[in-house]
Amino acid sequence: MKNKKLIVVKVGTNVMTNKDNRIVRPVLKNLVKQIAELYERDIQTILVSSGSVIAGKEVLGNSVIKDKTKRRQVYSSIGQPRMMRLYYNIFRDYGMKCAQVLPTKRDFNPGVHRDNMINCIEGLLQEGVVPITNEDDAVSLEMSMFSDNDELATLIAELMNASKMILLTDIDGLYDGNPDKEHTKLISDVEPKENLSKYISDSNKSEGEGRGGMGSKLNHAQLAAKKNITTYIANGKNKNVIVDIIDGKQVGTKVSL
């Protein structure tokens, strides 16, 4: 294996869906295209992708199950293979292969599962295969649950010694107020110790099936920065967003030491 740089890209449900909560294939295609382009430039990506719950909903429609947790388990176990089929086909179109790794938070505790996960992801990278991870929503409940996939992405980035983490969402980054209002400015640089609570409002919280939100992204980005991982929070719907970040263009909000 050539010595490639490693980045982690996280894509949330809000990036890949339209207002009718349908998965928008061209968005996934745009992400994969950029991952393939970076691979040619010796930069490998671990993709952390949500979408299983919404994909399951697309297949099943309304559920007869009243219990919210059980319903989420069912939706995600229907939707996860659907997400992987979408990714499999798109990666194949770009001449690449992808694979699935579904951890729970417990798997990050020191021990055999953690070691096995490192081994597997290392092996996939050696083979030039793109690891796609998501929380194992079918079985990860209560104590073994991540707060959201921003946390999973951060733990993966630390685990695999990635140099950069890109958290893609549906707004351009952190704003100094409500992004829908006039005169609100994008904050392009943030330090790990900065107190950002004043910028986090309810309008920054995510809606629908995704968890997370701007507060969580900043919190995890600041944790990652302390471990020397530079994080970018940016709009995953923008065409060349990942490549532009890697090329050092001023995109989104950067959190670094």
Query: In the complex, which residues of this chain contact ligand GLU (CB under 6 A)?
Result: 12-13, 50-53, 76, 134-135, 137, 148-149, 209-212
Chain-centre distance for alpha carbon 1: 25
Q: CB of 134: closest distance to ligand GLU in angstroms?
A: 5
Q: Which is closer to ligand GLU, CB of 164 or CB of 211?
A: 211
Q: CB of 120: closest distance to ligand GLU in angstroms?
A: 19
> What DSSP character marks residue 204?
G
Is 185 exposed, middle or buried, given 0-12, 13-18 or 19+ CB atoms closer than 10 A? exposed
Q: Tokens representing 183?
A: 């005169």
Q: CB of 4: closest distance to ligand GLU in angstroms?
A: 27
How many Å apart are CA 78 and CA 109, to the nearest integer? 28
Q: Which is closer to ligand GLU, CB of 33 or CB of 220?
A: 220
243 closest CA partner among 20, 3, 35: 35
Q: Which is closer to ligand GLU, CB of 13 or CB of 230?
A: 13
Listed in sequence order, the DSSP H helices in the chain are: 13-16, 25-40, 52-60, 68-93, 112-126, 149-159, 214-226, 241-246
Q: CB of 212: closest distance to ligand GLU in angstroms?
A: 5
Q: CB of 2: closest distance to ligand GLU in angstroms?
A: 32
DSSP secondary structure string, 71-82? HHHHHHHHHHHH
Q: Which is closer to ligand GLU, CB of 13 or CB of 34?
A: 13
Q: Which is closer to ligand GLU, CB of 75 or CB of 246?
A: 75
